[in-house]
Each structure stands twice: as structure tokens, then as C-alpha cells.
């Protein structure tokens, strides 16, 4: 997934009801290993790095 905003929050779980980790993705390409529905976004994606979950509303799927 490509993230084109520098301040996308990383959360501890798939939803805005989970705490922020205090970190941001930054702009770049990230590997998502799981997707889930959750509060505050259409879909959430779990980062391969293990850093947490991001809203896929702000990410673009690339092939």
C-alpha cells in the first residue's frame, strides 16, 4: 500500500477506539499482512513491521 500523507497515525488495533502508538507512517510504501473492519475507517491494515494498524482510507493499493 502506498501512503501519500506524512502524518498517518499508527494504532494498536484496527479502529479509532484503539490508542495511537505515538508514531506516524510517513510517506512511503508499506506491506499489509491483515485487513480488518473497525471504528473510524472503511478498512484497517496491519503493518508487516508489527508497528500496528493504519486506516486504509488513506492508502492506495499498488501492484
Instruction: Collect all residues with Cβ–Cβ distance below 8 Å to 53 and sequence separation of at least 6.
Output: 10, 11, 12, 13, 14, 15, 18, 36, 38, 44, 45, 46, 47
In the chain, DSSP assigns E strands to 2-3, 9-11, 20-24, 28-29, 32-38, 41-47, 53-55, 59-60
Instruction: Give the pLDDT score at 63.
Output: 77
Closest CA to 49 of 5, 3, 15: 3
pTM, two decimals, is 0.94
In this predicted model, what pLDDT tens digit does every residue of 45-61 receive, in sequence order? Answer: 999 999 999 999 999 99
In this predicted model, what pLDDT tens digit does every residue of 15-40 receive, in sequence order? Answer: 999 999 999 999 999 999 999 999 99
Amino acid at each position: 500500500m502506498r501512503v501519500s500523507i506524512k502524518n498517518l497515525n499508527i494504532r494498536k488495533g484496527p479502529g479509532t477506539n484503539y490508542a495511537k502508538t505515538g508514531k506516524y507512517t510517513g510517506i512511503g510504501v508499506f506491506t499489509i499482512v491483515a485487513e480488518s473492519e473497525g471504528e473510524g475507517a472503511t478498512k484497517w491494515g496491519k503493518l508487516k513491521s508489527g508497528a500496528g494498524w493504519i486506516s486504509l482510507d488513506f492508502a492506495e493499493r499498488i501492484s
